[in-house]
Structure 1
């Protein structure tokens, strides 16, 4: 019993100590010269959908929830954001090759239509990120027309 008490106290001290290690947060409010809107037109309604359902993970500006201030949850959130930005970063879209831009637009459309984005663990807490059929249709139409526009540039 004494060992268990010491182990719990030790675990508590470790949990308190890790609270002082804060990873750098993904917040950069500066103007993004490579944002997707610098490449293709992003209507306000589409931008609103992207903002509520995508940008927290797929941009350089994350709205952190309260639990992201608690370690080790903060580490998990930041790891998730890093992986998501490596896959697609709307703030760096202009840096992608034309081929990659077309591929990313197709991937956005497919992931919205098949329901793999936004991911379930995100929508579990961010209910406003759950997209309805009209929003999904709007994103699909926008990505398709944007691909058409970009393909015309290519040829």
Structure 2
């Protein structure tokens, strides 16, 4: 039984999910093209949001081991369907404003970043000051 389980574990390592890495460097639709993003805000977004909400994910070592890689791929897919900073410019004006409002709510209610993400990616945990900076920036961007 243990040999069969080990063989199955080894076998599934050959079934790797597609990585979320944009093959093109086209940033024409990136959120930064629509709204000026101060460096401090951009750093927070990249550290706490972009892995799941952009076209480029930083993959930790465990993402190459299945089934963890499949689980991560599923989270990234779901995250990008909800919000994709790399494709933000493709959203209608109404949808962009709605996304900014939703982002503020998610941050203020501690729903984002996900606890399952910050448990391992401790650098993605937002301080009260970082939350305030993000929410204020999002409020300003929503007015434009």
Fold match by TM threshold 0.5: yes
| Structure 1: distance between partners of 2:17 and 2:35 | 33
Structure 1 residue 33, shift from structure 2 partner: 1.2
Residue 118 of structure 1 deviates from its aligned partner by: 0.3
Does residue 19 of the first structure (1) align with residue 21 of the second (2)? no
How big is each residue's C-alpha offset from its partner over 1:46-98, in whole Å with a ceiling of 9 and x where there is no partner?
10100000000000110111110101110000001000000000000000011
User: Do residues 97 (structure 1) and 85 (structure 2) align?
Assistant: no
- TM-score, scaled relative to structure 1: 0.89
Q: 2:76 aligned with 1:68, yes or no?
A: no
Q: Does 1:139 align with 2:134?
A: yes
CA distance in 1, matches of 2:49, 2:65: 23
What is the aligned-residue RMSD (CA, Å)? 0.9
In structure 2, the residue matched to 1:81 is 76
- Cα displacement string for residues 13-56 of structure 1 (whole angstroms, at most 9, x for unaligned residues): 11111101111101126232100011111111110100000000
State the TM-score, normalizing by the size of structure 2.
0.96
4+ runs deviating over 4 angstroms? none
Aligned residues: 143
- Please name the residue that 1:34 is paired with: 29
User: What's the counterpart of residue 4 of structure 1?
Assistant: none
